[in-house]
Amino acid sequence: MDIKGELLGMSPTMAALFSTLVQYHWARIRSLNISIIGVQWIKKETWGFLKQPAPNMRVFSIYLHDGYRDKPNFFSETNMELFANGAPSLKELRVTHITFDPDASWLAHLRNLDLASPFLLRQLFEVLKNTPFLEMLTLRGKIIDNTESTREISQVILPRLRYINIAHQPEICLAILESNAPASGCGPPVDPTPPV
């Protein structure tokens, strides 16, 4: 099952459809690609699917245009076990406002990683160390600068990385580029601007 679309506003019908799909058909979903405006209208309990195994998930993309007002840290629990650490088919992960365990087993299979989530820089390096097959990396504006704790981090070798795009503050861009060994010929476009 592939699901793609936008959830806009406070539509009870759309909320019910979304809730039904993810609660009753989660294990069947191969691709979930949604953009949500007005995330607060989806009940907190509905998001429990994020902590369930996703045995067939190949593409997981959730773009949240705003935070979750009832519990702002719901999506950024420390070391949240996204997919209960069980997503053996996952190849693409594109998320905003959602963090996960930097040592999750499913990271080893990722080919495309697009993050706009509140990770510490040290945690981001741990994530990258666990993605040996990564080919595309996009990082946007939610990385927390704690460069003092990254001085002892060894270089991250990503031999298949062909595309890297970092839109962040110059210090963050440099820290990531200095600690990264991408594939030969990988030239990153860097946008050294503050996050919005």
Give which of 98, 61, 101, 96 is closest to 81, Cα–Cα.
101
Q: In terms of Cα–Cα distance, which of 55, 75, 63, 17 is closest to 38?
A: 63
pLDDT at 124: 86
Q: Encode pLDDT of 124-143 as tens digits.
A: 889 999 999 999 999 886 66
Give the pLDDT confidence score for residue 144 in this predicted structure. 65
Question: Burial level of 71, CB count in 10 A (0-12/13-18/19+)?
Answer: exposed
Per-residue pLDDT of 12-33, as tens digits, reads: 777 788 888 888 899 999 999 9
* Token duo for residue 43: 């009940």
What pLDDT shows up at residue 8? 73
Task: Supply the pLDDT for residue 70.
Answer: 44
Q: Are strands 180-181 and 190-192 parallel, antiparallel or unpaired?
A: unpaired
Q: What is the pTM of this model?
A: 0.83
Coil, helix or strand for 168?
Answer: strand
Mark the ranges of the chain whose per-residue pLDDT is less than 70. Answer: 9-10, 39-42, 66-80, 141-154, 185-196
